[in-house]
Structure 1
Amino acid sequence: MCGIAGVFHHQTERAIEPQTLVNMAAIMHHRGPDGFGYEVQQDYGVGFSHARLSIIDLDEKRGRQPFISADKRLMLTHNGEFYDFKRIRADLTARGARFNSKSDSEIVLHLFERYGLEDTLKELRGEFAFGLFDAKDESLYLVRDRFGIKPLYWTETEHGVVFGSELKVLFAHPDVKREFSAEGLYHQLIQVMVPGSTAFEGINQVQPGYVVKLQRKNGKVVATEHKYWDVDFPPEESYPGADVDEESYIEGVRAKLLEAVQHRMTADVPVGCYLSGGIDSCAILGLASASTQTSVKAFTIGFDSADYDETPIAEEMAAATKADHHIMRLKADDLYDHFVKTLWHTERTIYNTLGVAKYLMSKEVHEAGYKVVMTGEGSDELFAGYPAFRKDMFLHGLDHLPEVERVEWQELLEKNNKLFKGAMLAREEFVSEAFNQKMGFTPSCVQPWLSCSSVALPLMSENKRKQVEGYDPSLAIANTLDKDMLDGRHPLDRAQYVWIKTMLEGQILTWGGDRVDMANSMEARPAFLDHHLAEYAFTVPPHLRIKGNKEKYVLREAMKGLLPETLYKREKFAFMAPPAHTDPEKWKAVEKLAEQFLNAEAVKSAGLLDYDEVVRTFERHQDENVPNEERVQLDAVINHMLGVQVLHHHFVATDVPAQAQQRATELGWTA
């Protein structure tokens, strides 16, 4: 739901330009095509804008944001959904609150006014990002949900602070610089980002579960941040032993997931479901179908490669639930044909064209007349579904098992996931001293990307490479992790914590989630990331998340009655698009993009990459003697090379403020 933007000046005497706020909303029209609004409080040097996707309270005037409290003290601009808001609104009304809309967003104003921010955050359930200005102490609060489902960026300029839902929203403001940082470039080339950072100089993200407080002091806006929630697994010794009552955990997961799904069916528009061939989305569809009297619309992506296509299982699940099933079948050339447009929305590089497939799917969902779908993201994070988690369990969490048995399980894991070696699993072990010191081992989930550093560093231009001399990307990431959340935890818990803090937020929920979904005005609701469910999942003993060689054991058992037998017994299959090297037509599409964005002139003009190394990387990829797992890794690196050049084209070489003004003019959005 929606996109937000705002400006907060150092000096109250400096006027806010309303049309700039409108332009910032216009450039993210895709996030909110149903209308826009803006508010300026010149006496306080602050202004907000909002692009609206109407899902709850469809009344255009009544639901228009930003909201301002009756006494003019508070101003709010909000993106996302608050669930259970009707109960909260009724309780507040009984205490004397008066609401001006039926919107879920408005509860923030009344909660904050009565209880303050900390207690307000305890009440908020859902996926959200918002800016809240309090005139009482001239403070602006930027708040992001617990897992980072909704994006929120901010930066400091010469004249103050600018914030927004997307990078292009910030870049639409003429005061915001648009240039790659050397460290940001490095991390784009190896896929994994430093939490809270972006590819661009001086542009920050509000981290998941954080509040950034911006307060004017002595004519200067000063930023502080604090964490209000974290992924808090219990101490390892507190878990019950092998004689644990499995059924109580199975029942608990079932009840919490059903509650999360039912909350996410709250909308004033129809709610559909994404459906792959995995347990996660099938469980969501099954619970949603059982919770409604009507047929649920299900959307599936199909690939033209049998190795990666999951539509047969999706069709079986759709038939079992009597869902109205829509399958989008993609050919090899569909993906790279839409690569450039997709990156305008992701605003970061992508290692696999799954992001493009998700972009094309959200377009089909929109064309089918749907604004909302539920998704299965978050299940693997909570219940240890990824092969990297099993690998770490075998290596570090099963000391009681004979060595031969652990080796057999690991060999089976590698065999069953050979398609993903070089991407989801590292080609060979990569050891980071920084991670080893922080948590005792280098988690398998980050090894594929950190191991790319030896390939990525030479690819950087000489100027950028000099700027990162002595820089350790793994140390930069490890330094952001809270040691209090790692010490004394089970090895599996530590591995899951790292993934949630890095790849979940930086990949799955961005270029695989919100950014490609909202590109076509479509809101995704990941029910597994309901924090009530998550907090319960953290208490599930590791040996019930991975039991023997079976991942997500407790979830499988909780959903057993809903799942087709083939899916119940099936090992986790990572949802990826077929890599470029697997299809001659796809590789031709890559070469076509390279002719445009990786030619000598384009590379020199951008100043990001070393052209000779670019050529050598392509030659290495074409060498028939290169092992398949290295080619998988090189596919990812080439996608990143293309990506940084495309991002430079979109956001550095292009005059984004002028682009935003043009978009506002086309829409007829004026201050």
Structure 2
Amino acid sequence: MCGIAGIFTASKEQVIDSQTLVNMAAIMHHRGPDSYGYCNPADMGIGMSHARLSIIDLDENRGRQPFWLHGGQTMCVHNGEFYDYQRLRTDLLARGKPFTSKSDSEVLPALYECFGMDETLAKLRGEFAFALYDEHEDCLYLVRDRFGIKPLYWTQTEDSLVFGSEVKVILAHPDVQAELDSEGLFHQLIQVMVPGTTAFKGIQQVEPGHMLKVTRSKGKLQIETSKYWDVEFPAIGEREAHPDEYYIEGVRRELLDAVQLRLNADVPVGCYLSGGIDSCAILGLASGYAQYPLKAFTISFDNVDYDEAEIATEMAESVEADQEILKLNAELLYNNFARTIWHTERTIYNTLAVAKLMMSQQVRHVNYKVVLTGEGSDELFAGYPAFRKDMFLHGMEGLDADQAKEWRKSLETSNELFKGAMLPKDEYTSEYLDKVIGFTPSCLQPWLGCSEHARKLIHPAHRENIQNYEPGAAIAKKLDPSLLANRHPLDKAQYVWIKTMLEGQILTWGGDRVDMANSMEARPPFLDHKLAEFAVTIPPQMRIKGSKEKYVLREAMKGVLPQTLYEREKFAFMAPPAHTDIAKWKKLKSLLEEYANREKVEAAGLLDADYLESLIAKQESDDTPVSDKVQIDAILNHALGVMLLHHYFVARDVPKYAYDQAQSLGWVV
């Protein structure tokens, strides 16, 4: 895992400043503190830089990027991991392609030169974002992995395209200025993002499974976007009929293969471990394959309603893992809130993002760089309570009265703590989503349901700009209707979550950004595309069987998990909200007073100070229902996040530590 950056100009004669490329690498030193490099040949109009975190081939000189190899045809920078690269490398050597390192990254230019981009992408397996320039075609490719595990941002200036692994990298270019636009601001306050967008005007993301091809024509840049992969659930009636054991054995086989591939590294590999079956399954499989005690890292909260450490410990003991438990309280969570926003570059609804950042810091403290994680399991095997709700409401035709009663009861009693956040407090319907999907997925309802709060909280000038804006319509336009038509309702709900909340939340502020804040690589085996392509063939009734979610995964892991974990109902992993603890509320309120006081709010022109103060007063009132407090807690976190985005990126009050480490490494900033 690393950080990449670059500039592609409309004219080959335009000079690309070396210092700018160095600055772009330096501002993301946290992504790759082991070394950096840049390349900007004269009269080519292309420059790239790279910050390296060495995991495969630790030799500093051999693995240095950008790669400018093979007679000068291609230049490339890569962030992420290509698994099974040894097999690819062996095949390429047989075809006469030379290599200068043992790095997995170097297979990329060799594959491209042998097979072209389309076939190269079909051969790549892993999590990655890369830029590749082809001198012969004079074009630049920007490519992001299938699920969006690794980030890749881009924008256009008057005469160039600028790209990087983080927004702050792009803002290091002197011609790019930070501005929160009205729609981006609105989506920060309701949590759910429109795929491909950011909070910042003109700065976009390469969408998961997509590729940008940028060419020069008559002094201008032409940008062509194409999709090379997507999650494709079979249409109704097209699933092949197989016995249950076929699916159970298939999940076991594909997941074990994904885990084994991700244990390959030239540094020690550990595992994140919560009390859920996802991370427990990964630890169990990895422990069996490694045949030596693995390091397991667990977050513990100071609220028993949200803490899973005891269950995680049971799993760690069952495989004799060496468990590290990080105990988090109000002091640690809220003292690191602002630092977390610097890294996420978007708002967060819950301090789980802070907890994950603190956990990655602990991983590095004990000299680990790589962990396996459980992200992606709920997406593939329907683990979230919102999926169960949509299954019951839209996909359970033919239930008899007793079955319907059992389902309704389970929906009413499950995950009560999360209503207003991960579950809707009230029903919300978007006519635009209904038109494309057939219903408004329950996973989006909690956030779209915050729209009225957001409209009142946004500054009047921005409110005027979004007067006729409908967030559901913007999201609906980004969904592929051909992959929703004639699909089972559970398939639709999972597809929508994968295209929105997985990439925009779980893999962003719950994944890459808080992991790489501490130069730590997270590898999610569940998001192996080979496993995903098998998982979509599993019938809905085997993903949710009766009222039991992730049934097929439970059965596949039955011998790996302790009995209590095998039988345990899904519990959404979330940090305790501030309203649950007076100490946490005092810390959140002090942050609001520091960064979102009336003077700063009015000066920034992003939020309505009166409405923000009314929300704070409502949160402090004993008359406010708990479900309202859950929702308001999320909105206040978003409001604080908006002001921190302004503080760091618009007002350019960059934290000192962001520069100190880069300078200590000898990088010029």
Answer whether TM exceeds 0.5 for this pair: yes
Which residue does the alignment assign to 1:414?
A: 412
Q: TM-score, normalised by structure 2?
A: 0.98
Does residue 1:105 correspond to 2:120, yes or no?
no
Which residue does the alignment assign to 2:475?
A: 477
Distance 2:502 2:663 in 1: 37
Any conservation in 1 of the 2:236–2:486 contact (CA below 8 Å)?
Answer: yes
Q: Deviations over 1:608-654 (max 9, x none)?
A: 00101111111121221221111100000000000000111010101
Which residue does the alignment assign to 2:534?
A: 536
Does residue 1:354 correspond to 2:352, yes or no?
yes
Does residue 1:54 correspond to 2:75, yes or no?
no
Distance 1:369 1:587 in 2: 34
Distance 2:538 2:398 in 1: 19
Which residue does the alignment assign to 1:321?
A: 319
Does residue 1:147 correspond to 2:147, yes or no?
yes
Any conservation in 1 of the 2:210–2:227 contact (CA below 8 Å)?
Answer: yes
DSSP 3-state at the match of 1:289: helix
Distance 1:290 1:418 in 2: 36
Which residue does the alignment assign to 2:590?
A: 592
Which residue does the alignment assign to 1:37?
A: 37
Distance 1:365 1:43 in 2: 44
Any conservation in 1 of the 2:9–2:159 contact (CA below 8 Å)?
Answer: yes
Distance 1:159 1:11 in 2: 8
DSSP 3-state at the match of 1:41: coil
DSSP 3-state at the match of 2:491: helix
1:474-513 alignment to 2 at 5 Å?
474-513=472-511
Any conservation in 2 of the 1:389–1:495 contact (CA below 8 Å)?
Answer: yes
1:266-285 alignment to 2 at 5 Å?
266-285=264-283
The 1:386/1:573 distance shift into structure 2, 3 A limit, reads: same
Any conservation in 2 of the 1:171–1:657 contact (CA below 8 Å)?
Answer: no
Q: Which moved more, 1:36-45 or 1:143-152?
A: 36-45
DSSP 3-state at the match of 1:13: coil
The one-letter code of the counterpart of 1:420 is: F
Any conservation in 2 of the 1:149–1:505 contact (CA below 8 Å)?
Answer: yes
DSSP 3-state at the match of 1:43: coil
Q: Which moved more, 1:65-74 or 1:512-521?
A: 65-74
Which residue does the alignment assign to 1:185?
A: 185
DSSP 3-state at the match of 1:78: strand
1:153-552 alignment to 2 at 5 Å?
153-239=153-239, 244-402=242-400, 405-552=403-550
DSSP 3-state at the match of 1:514: helix
How far is the alpha carbon of 1:219 from its aligned partner? 1.0
Q: Which moved more, 1:22-31 or 1:657-666?
A: 657-666
1:577 aligned residue (572, 575, 578)? 575
DSSP 3-state at the match of 1:585: helix
Q: Deviations over 1:205-226 (max 9, x none)?
A: 0000000111111111111100
How far is the alpha carbon of 1:404 from its aligned partner? 5.8
The one-letter code of the counterpart of 2:466 is: V
The one-letter code of the counterpart of 1:323 is: A
Any conservation in 2 of the 1:23–1:663 contact (CA below 8 Å)?
Answer: no
Distance 1:118 1:660 in 2: 38
Distance 2:581 2:574 in 1: 14
How far is the alpha carbon of 1:534 from its aligned partner? 0.5
DSSP 3-state at the match of 2:72: coil
Which residue does the alignment assign to 1:27?
A: 27
The 1:47/1:658 distance shift into structure 2, 3 A limit, reads: farther
Any conservation in 1 of the 2:647–2:653 contact (CA below 8 Å)?
Answer: no
Distance 2:71 2:167 in 1: 33
Any conservation in 2 of the 1:111–1:120 contact (CA below 8 Å)?
Answer: yes
DSSP 3-state at the match of 1:229: coil
Distance 1:238 1:141 in 2: 35
Distance 1:574 1:422 in 2: 13
How far is the alpha carbon of 1:572 from its aligned partner? 0.3
Any conservation in 2 of the 1:172–1:656 contact (CA below 8 Å)?
Answer: no
Q: Deviations over 1:562-589 (max 9, x none)?
A: 1111111110000000001000000000
The one-letter code of the counterpart of 1:643 is: G
The one-letter code of the counterpart of 1:15 is: V
Any conservation in 1 of the 2:153–2:205 contact (CA below 8 Å)?
Answer: yes
The one-letter code of the counterpart of 1:430 is: Y
The one-letter code of the counterpart of 2:500 is: T
The one-letter code of the counterpart of 1:112 is: Y
How far is the alpha carbon of 1:507 from its aligned partner? 0.3
The one-letter code of the counterpart of 1:636 is: A
Count of residue pairs brought into register by the alignment:
669
Gap regions ≥5 residues in structure 2: none
Distance 2:307 2:655 in 1: 41
Any conservation in 1 of the 2:146–2:210 contact (CA below 8 Å)?
Answer: yes
DSSP 3-state at the match of 1:131: strand
How far is the alpha carbon of 1:660 from its aligned partner? 7.8
Q: Which moved more, 1:151-160 or 1:618-627?
A: 618-627
How far is the alpha carbon of 1:409 from its aligned partner? 1.1
Distance 2:122 2:100 in 1: 23
State the Cα RMSD in Å: 1.4
Q: Deviations over 1:449-496 (max 9, x none)?
A: 000001111101111111111000110001000001100111000000
Distance 2:373 2:663 in 1: 35
Q: Deviations over 1:29-52 (max 9, x none)?
A: 000000000001231211000000
DSSP 3-state at the match of 1:60: coil
Q: Deviations over 1:31-81 (max 9, x none)?
A: 000000000123121100000000000010000000012211100100000
The one-letter code of the counterpart of 1:468 is: I
Distance 2:404 2:432 in 1: 26
How far is the alpha carbon of 1:306 from its aligned partner? 0.5
Which residue does the alignment assign to 1:565?
A: 563
Which residue does the alignment assign to 2:77?
A: 77
Distance 1:156 1:144 in 2: 18
Distance 2:624 2:668 in 1: 56
Which residue does the alignment assign to 1:613?
A: 611
The one-letter code of the counterpart of 1:409 is: W
The 1:407/1:153 distance shift into structure 2, 3 A limit, reads: farther
Any conservation in 2 of the 1:172–1:660 contact (CA below 8 Å)?
Answer: no
Distance 1:660 1:271 in 2: 27
How far is the alpha carbon of 1:411 from its aligned partner? 3.0
Distance 1:360 1:116 in 2: 41
How far is the alpha carbon of 1:658 from its aligned partner? 11
The one-letter code of the counterpart of 1:546 is: I
Distance 2:662 2:317 in 1: 45
Distance 1:404 1:13 in 2: 74
How far is the alpha carbon of 1:402 from its aligned partner? 2.9
The 1:424/1:669 distance shift into structure 2, 3 A limit, reads: same
Which residue does the alignment assign to 1:96?
A: 96
Distance 2:662 2:340 in 1: 21
Q: TM-score, normalised by structure 1?
A: 0.98
Distance 2:655 2:300 in 1: 38
Any conservation in 2 of the 1:233–1:489 contact (CA below 8 Å)?
Answer: yes
Any conservation in 2 of the 1:24–1:660 contact (CA below 8 Å)?
Answer: no
How far is the alpha carbon of 1:138 from its aligned partner? 1.3
Q: Deviations over 1:517-545 (max 9, x none)?
A: 00000000000000000000000010000
Which residue does the alignment assign to 1:4?
A: 4
The one-letter code of the counterpart of 1:209 is: G
How far is the alpha carbon of 1:100 from its aligned partner? 1.0
Any conservation in 1 of the 2:159–2:220 contact (CA below 8 Å)?
Answer: no
How far is the alpha carbon of 1:659 from its aligned partner? 9.8
Which residue does the alignment assign to 2:15?
A: 15
The one-letter code of the counterpart of 2:203 is: I
DSSP 3-state at the match of 1:388: helix
Distance 1:211 1:71 in 2: 25
